[in-house]
């Protein structure tokens, strides 16, 4: 009886340790995700599977302009009358309270809503959207990843400087994307992952630009 109990406890410890290691790997190293939006079409399509790189949580190395990232969705979408070009930041309300609720939300990511977009501007960058062109620090941004007929416009946030500790991102499918043009710049602490590569479908396996 004692031997059986010992075996059960040992197996229990092994399972607990394996779960902890899996959670640590998922949070700090990498994790798979599924594309559920059309906002990055044609670069990404619905139901494609991706691997997210999360090592930035260890290295503190932030994404570059052009990187495709995922981040926690803000709770507010601005109207053109609410937008303050001098303070273009996303709003996050209703943060989970309590250790357990925060663990479930931020670590297990249950009930958490996320967006996937492309980084366009970093802290200190002057972003201006005018006449179907995105200007970064006065220079027109070359966006070869867009379809030829894509229209980029904004009546909410369109002429501002990205605040320190934030980034500006948009979807490649501009007319079908709710992004920083309406929700404001995203704080780096809300960054969830940097897209590393696509592993499904197999015919499109590989890196993404």
Least confident span in 37-41, 125-129, 135-139? 37-41
Q: What is the pLDDT of residue 3?
A: 63
Residue 118's CB is within 10 A of a number of other CB atoms, namely 24
CATH of the domain at 54: 2.10.109.10
- Expressed as residue numbers, the domain containing 133 is 30-204
Give domain status of residue 1, yes or no: no
pLDDT band at 190 (very low <50, low <70, confident <90, very high): very high
| CB-count burial class (<10 Å; 0-12, 13-18, 19+) for 13 | exposed
With cut-offs at 50, 70 and 90, classify the pLDDT of residue 183. Answer: very high
150 domain residue, yes or no? yes
- Total domain count, the chain: 1
Look at residue 52 and tell me if it is in a domain.
Answer: yes
Q: Is residue 4 part of a domain?
A: no
Buried b (16+ CB within 10 A) or exposed e, 52-66: bbbebeeeeebbeee
If you average pLDDT over residues 128-149, what whole number do you get? 94
Asked if residue 92 is part of any domain, the answer here is yes
For residue range 10-35, list pLDDT tens digits in order. Answer: 787 888 888 888 888 888 888 999 99
> Is residue 19 situated within a structural domain?
no
Task: Give residue 2's pLDDT.
Answer: 62
The span from the CA of 39 to the CA of 170, in Å, is 9
Handedness of CA 111, 94, 37, 108 (dihedral sign): negative
pLDDT over 80 at 6, yes or no: no
Specify if 11 maps to a domain. no
Is there a domain that residue 2 lies in? no
Nearest Cα neighbor of 44 from 68, 62, 66 is: 68
Interacting residues of 52 by C-beta distance below 8 A, sequence separation 6+ = 30, 31, 32, 33, 70, 192, 193, 194, 195, 196
User: Is 87 in a helix, a strand, or coil?
Assistant: coil
Q: What is the Cα–Cα distance from 106 to 124, expressed in whole angstroms?
A: 28
Residue 7: the pLDDT is 64
């Amino acid at each position: 009886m004692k031997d059986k109990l010992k075996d059960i406890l040992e197996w229990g410890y092994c399972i607990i340790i394996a779960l902890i290691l899996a959670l640590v790997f998922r949070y700090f190293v990498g994790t798979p995700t599924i594309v559920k939006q059309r906002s990055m079409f044609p670069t990404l399509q619905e139901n494609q599977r991706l691997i997210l790189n999360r090592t930035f949580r260890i290295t503190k190395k932030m994404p570059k302009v052009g990187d495709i990232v995922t981040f926690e969705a803000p709770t507010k979408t601005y109207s053109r009358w609410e937008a303050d070009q001098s303070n273009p930041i996303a709003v996050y309300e209703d943060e989970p309270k309590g250790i357990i609720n925060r663990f479930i939300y931020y670590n297990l990511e249950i009930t958490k809503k996320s967006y996937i977009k492309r980084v366009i501007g970093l802290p200190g960058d002057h972003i201006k959207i005018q006449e179907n062109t995105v200007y970064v620090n006065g220079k027109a941004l070359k966006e070869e990843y867009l379809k030829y007929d894509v229209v980029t416009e904004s009546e909410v946030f369109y002429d501002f400087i990205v605040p320190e500790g934030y980034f500006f991102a948009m979807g490649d499918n501009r007319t079908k994307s709710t992004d920083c043009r309406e929700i404001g710049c995203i704080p780096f602490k809300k960054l969830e992952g940097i897209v590393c590569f696509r592993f499904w479908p197999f015919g499109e396996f590989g890196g993404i630009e």
